[in-house]
């Protein structure tokens, strides 16, 4: 089972889906995870209440980039409400360590093992938080929260 999951993650990392620029996005946001050096930009075209196009760019570890690829594949063609439900389901999966089992989450469920590694949860969550930020007004940059014990002494 874990080997299958690893295969799915590597496949998305090596052949990312929807990794392209969007010419005139309705909204976009930049996200970064300084702990790992991951960066993701998410741009979406919203037509009515439906996300008709989504693209991402970025760099970073395999978990962050595979998760971004999976996120775009899930979101494309869905309503904004469904996309938000997906963000919630993903966060829930990262918190509880159990597969979301949401319709359309087949590949995404492969990231469930990440829940065991808090530092990697930030990698996996980055694209989803960035999507959420893009869908919220403004699309201000998002940085995955750094908890107190991970900060160095300059704070």
Draw the binding track, 101-130, toward Zn ion (x: CB under 5 A; -: no contact). ----------------------x-------
Residue 22's alpha-carbon distances to 25, 31, 47, 96, 97, in angstroms, are: 6, 17, 14, 34, 33
Stretch that binds Zn ion, among 33-41, 109-117, 129-137, 145-153 (CB under 5 A): 33-41
Q: Choose the binding region for Zn ion from 55-63, 68-76, 99-107, 141-149 (rule: CB under 5 A).
A: 55-63
Q: Which is nearer to Zn ion, 81 or 119 (CB)?
A: 119
Please give the C-alpha separations between residue 39 and each of 11, 31, 33, 80, 141, in angstroms, as whole numbers.
19, 6, 6, 23, 11
State how far the alpha carbon of 28 is from the alpha carbons of 21, 44, 70, 84, 120, in Å.
11, 6, 17, 15, 24
- Give the shortest CB-67-to-Zn ion separation in angstroms: 9
Identify the bridge partners of residue 51 per DSSP, sorted by sequence position: 46
What residues numbered 77-96 form the site for Zn ion, per CB under 5 A? none
Tokens of 117: 């590694």
Q: Is 36 in the site for Zn ion (CB under 5 A)?
A: yes
Q: Kindly tell me which residue out of 28, 32, 41, 64 binds Zn ion, with binding defined by CB under 5 A.
A: 64
Cβ atoms of 69 and 19 closer than 8 Å: yes
Residue number, 30 or 38, with CB nearest to Zn ion:
38
How many positions of this chain bind Zn ion (CB under 5 A)? 6
Q: Which residues bind Zn ion (CB under 5 A)?
A: 36, 38, 60-61, 64, 123
């Amino acid at each position: 089972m874990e080997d299958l999951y690893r295969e799915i993650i590597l496949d998305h990392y090596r052949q990312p889906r929807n990794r392209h620029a969007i010419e005139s996005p309705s909204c976009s946001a930049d996200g970064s995870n300084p702990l790992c050096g991951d960066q993701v930009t998410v741009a979406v075209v919203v037509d009515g209440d439906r996300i008709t196009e989504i693209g991402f760019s970025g760099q970073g570890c395999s978990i962050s980039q595979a998760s971004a690829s999976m996120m775009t594949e899930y979101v494309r063609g869905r309503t904004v409400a469904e996309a938000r439900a997906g963000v919630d389901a993903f966060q829930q999966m990262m918190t509880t360590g159990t597969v979301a089992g949401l319709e359309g989450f087949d590949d995404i469920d492969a990231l469930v093992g990440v829940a065991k590694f808090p530092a990697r949860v930030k990698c996996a969550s980055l694209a989803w938080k960035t999507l959420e930020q893009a869908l919220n007004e403004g699309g201000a940059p998002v940085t995955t929260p750094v908890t107190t014990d991970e900060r160095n002494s300059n704070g």
